[in-house]
Amino acid sequence: MAKRILAINPGSTSTKIAVFDDDSSVFNTTIKHEAEEVQRFERIFDQYAFRREAIEKTLESEDISLDSLDGVVGRGGMLKPLESGTYLVDDGMVDFVKRAARGEHASNLGCVIAKEIADEQNIKSFIVDPVAVDEMEDIARYTGMPEIKRQSLFHALNQKAVSRKAARELGKDYQDLNLIVAHLGGGISVGAHRKGRVIDVNNALDGDGPMSPERSGSVPLGPLYKMCFSGKYTLKEIKRKNYGEGGLVAYLGTNDGAEIAQRIKSGDKRATFIFEVMCYQIAKEIGSAAAVLKGDVDAIILTGGLARDEYLVEFIKERVGFIGKLLVYPGEDEMEALALGALRVLKGEEQPKTYEG
């Protein structure tokens, strides 16, 4: 009998949900939340009841009963550093994200909502490859300031999912490949995957790596710390310049890739140049990852929403094509990746991991 799984993926102004019977999607939608709705909550965790109610109302409208579920899987949040895999949600995990011990992020709500729904149905709840997956080598962690070390916070779920897809396409096991994976969305992360482990990756949350539609990426420190102590900006305003109001938003007033693409087609030279700046920085980051892998690269993968843009793909291909084969998987496989991770456990093909907070 097929296992029915509910997958939950909270984003900043939306909550994606999907229902799978084994590996077949039977329902998939994105619940939109008005910015004013979510901004009225002081903390991310305070949105829990609001988001859960929206999920349950949506499922009810589709005649999908919670008691038909065999498992619930949520997007993993800002947890302590941990290895890749499928984890059972426990009270320690919920307490960690409730305290936002590692930072506020909408994905923190995934495990909380999954556990509450699952507990009421007396079934299991899971997370799969959360953003906190950490397989970095020590040499990649160090900076020129002993007080600051680089952290592994990235789009692990989608990077791992497309890596497995690429491995199938190449006729090999993921653990036997060296890959460079660039997740190109509202945030951008570029990971160096060596034999199934992401040994180096930029921290897309903290201003590391290329600029993105709404994040600044790496900037020169001198001008930045002068800004910080100029008295013109609060800490909150500086954070927003890095995350939320940086990148394409800062230059072009929008993070909408389709709108920017249209402006480029219409001959908007400024939009064209700024978009190329972002593409140039992505290509540089891919080049850096190639150095990490000592030039031994089986494939470069472009994924995420921006990978649908042919102009971007061609711009990057022109600069990194010499490194290795380029594979493009537009969009995100995150809902399927969540469901398949839970399914492997429910079918006894994989043992779930235990979070030790």
pLDDT (tens digit per residue) in 267-308: 999 999 999 999 999 999 999 999 999 999 999 999 999 999
Place of tokens 């960690």: 96
Residues above pLDDT 70, as percent of the chain: 100
Same domain assignment for residues 44 and 189: no
Q: What is the pLDDT of residue 294?
A: 98
Same domain assignment for residues 103 and 199: no
CATH of the domain at 193: 3.30.420.40
Sheet of strand 197-201, all strands in order from the earlier edge strand to the far edge:
197-201, 188-194, 178-184, 299-304, 325-330
Same domain assignment for residues 81 and 195: no
Residue 203 structural domain:
158-323
Q: How many domains does the chain have?
A: 2
Q: What is the pLDDT of residue 2?
A: 92
Domain assignment of residue 142, yes or no: no
Tens digit of pLDDT for each residue in 98-134? 998 888 888 899 999 999 999 999 999 999 999 999 9
122's tokens? 């007396």
Same domain assignment for residues 305 and 178: yes
Tens digit of pLDDT for each residue in 220-232? 999 999 999 999 9
Same domain assignment for residues 284 and 220: yes
- Which alpha helices (H) appear in 129-193, and where do they start and end? 138-141, 156-170
- Quick check: pTM over 0.75? yes
Over range 22-26, report the average pLDDT. Answer: 96
Q: What is the pLDDT of residue 37?
A: 80
Same domain assignment for residues 237 and 88: no
Q: What is the pLDDT of residue 352?
A: 96
Same domain assignment for residues 111 and 202: no
Same domain assignment for residues 247 and 350: no
Looking at per-residue pLDDT, the higher value among 241 and 41 belongs to 241
Name the CA radius of gyration of the chain, rounded. Answer: 20
Same domain assignment for residues 346 and 308: no
Same domain assignment for residues 235 and 182: yes
Domain assignment of residue 180, yes or no: yes
Domain assignment of residue 66, yes or no: yes
Same domain assignment for residues 180 and 238: yes
Domain assignment of residue 123, yes or no: yes
* Environment class of 41 (CB within 10 Å of its CB; exposed 0-12, middle 13-18, buried 19+): middle
Tens digit of pLDDT for each residue in 163-213? 999 999 999 999 999 999 999 998 999 999 999 999 999 998 888 999 999
pLDDT at 335 over 80: yes
pLDDT at 158 over 80: yes
Over range 40-65, report the average pLDDT. Answer: 93
Domain assignment of residue 36, yes or no: yes
Tens digit of pLDDT for each residue in 232-252? 999 999 999 998 899 999 999
Q: What is the pLDDT of residue 357?
A: 60
Integer Cα distance of 73 and 340 in angstroms: 10
Same domain assignment for residues 41 and 15: yes
Beta strands in 156-272 (DSSP E): 178-184, 188-194, 197-201
Domain assignment of residue 145, yes or no: no
Looking at per-residue pLDDT, the higher value among 22 and 35 belongs to 22
pLDDT at 39 over 90: no
